[in-house]
Amino acid sequence: MASSSEESRFLDDLKRKRVRITLSDTQISGVVQRVSQKKSVVLEDVSEVTSGRKFPGVKIIFGHEILKVEFTISANQDNLVNEEHKSEIHSFRKKMVDDVDEDGVRYVVIDELHEKFGPAVMHIQQQKVIGIGAEVFGQIAQERLCWLQVATKKVVYLFDVLLLGGQAFRNGLSMILENPHILKVVHDCRCIARCLRAEFRVDLTNVFDTQVADLMLFYRETGGFLPDRLSSLQEVLRLHLKLPASDLSPLCSTESQRKECPELWYLRPSPPALMNIMSASVSHLLPLRLVLLDALMSDYTILVDAYMSSYHNQSLYIEQREGTLPAEAEELLCVLQERRNWAARRYSLTDAGLLRRSSFNTHTHI
């Protein structure tokens, strides 16, 4: 078994070399542009070996899809890698497979307007709460919506917006996204709302934003301070749903892939591993909303309990004139100050007066 340093050197040596990769259904040839450690191989100048058909742009290959790898030593000679290198490739491929949740969440890919599209829209329209996610390619003002994910309690629908185009919204998606009676749970709604409006003239309506909810909880728990940065989805899921790192690894993969190879959302057909990643990004949004709501309501719940306690305790019950502020409510000011004192001890301040949020692991509840 090769050491991690030896494996890294071998993967570096593959860069800029032409390789022939055997998949389950075809064999392709291309030049290695980038090797994302433990995740994927990005090829350029890609063609299908048997037909010679060229693929535009770059193509990303996930480790679990690779059956065999060969690379060219000379212009007309393909040699199999030696046994040591084959072992390293197998190790590399196995690690990439292990990062994918093969059981995953049940998802349905919608890439055409007949058969699955109609039943999917009808099922979503029957829901009161849904989770929403999107995969976007490009910079602000030039963004392109590639995928739209919609999660219900039992299934995640992956709408291939690149293939479906505007007809998908005219045939039902707009009615769902603009329906004021269907609550949409989103983590950071800004990008999704901006893309829907700019590309398809769709106004996202009735939104519960989990990033905003986490921000409000931080504000409450620190007695009125704001953090120096917002929390990512994986941070919020780990903090509030207590999800283990193994459940969050697909989301971490998504972030690294966005940075290293943002054009992967253009790939068709999309690899199954990418489908699992997209499903994971929305599958926990519905339970996350319930946990966040409970946390946001905790001060209200405590105050109501204090009201009830004072009423039942006749020895402490003092009749008050209607409209005057009860003593239980005034105690909130003391709680607020205690939280501010705790936050001042726990965090350091930026020059702008924001609390430095080092990591969600160190964020302790009051």
Angle at 30 between CA 78 and CA 75, to 5 degrees: 40
267-299: per-residue pLDDT in tens? 777 878 788 888 989 999 999 999 999 999 988
Q: Where are the alpha helices (DSSP H) in 222-326?
A: 233-241, 245-260, 272-283, 285-296, 298-312
Instruction: Please give the Cα distance from 287 to 263 (Å, whole number).
Output: 31
At 91 the pLDDT is 46
41-80: per-residue pLDDT in tens? 778 888 888 888 887 766 767 666 677 777 655 444 344 4
At 320 the pLDDT is 57
CA 96 to chain centre: 18
At 262 the pLDDT is 64
Positions in the chain short of pLDDT 50: 1-2, 37-38, 74-84, 88-103, 359-366
Distances (CA, A) of 263 to 143, 184, 311: 12, 27, 63
User: Which residues, listed in sequence order, are joined to residue 27 by a DSSP beta bridge?
Assistant: 22
At 75 the pLDDT is 41
Angle at 188 between CA 185 and CA 191, to 5 degrees: 110
CA-nearest of 111, 120, 118, 112 to 155 is: 120
Distances (CA, A) of 270 to 143, 164, 234, 325: 19, 14, 23, 60
At 89 the pLDDT is 46
Which helix or strand (DSSP H or E) is residue 69 part of?
Answer: strand 68-74
Tally the C-alpha atoms within 13 A of residue 255's C-alpha that lie toward its C-beta. Answer: 8
CA-nearest of 129, 202, 209 to 161 is: 202
DSSP secondary structure code for residue 103 in this structure: S
Please say whether the beta carbons of 147 and 158 come within 8 A.
Answer: yes
Question: What's the pTM value of the predicted model, to 2 decimals?
Answer: 0.67
Buried b or exposed e, range 205-235, using 16+ CB within 10 angstroms: eeebbbbbbbbebbebbbbebbbbebbbbbb
3-state per-residue secondary structure call for 121-186: HHHHHCCCEEEEEEEEECCCCCCEEEEEEEECCCCEEEEEHHHHCCHHHHHHHHHHHCCCCCEEEE
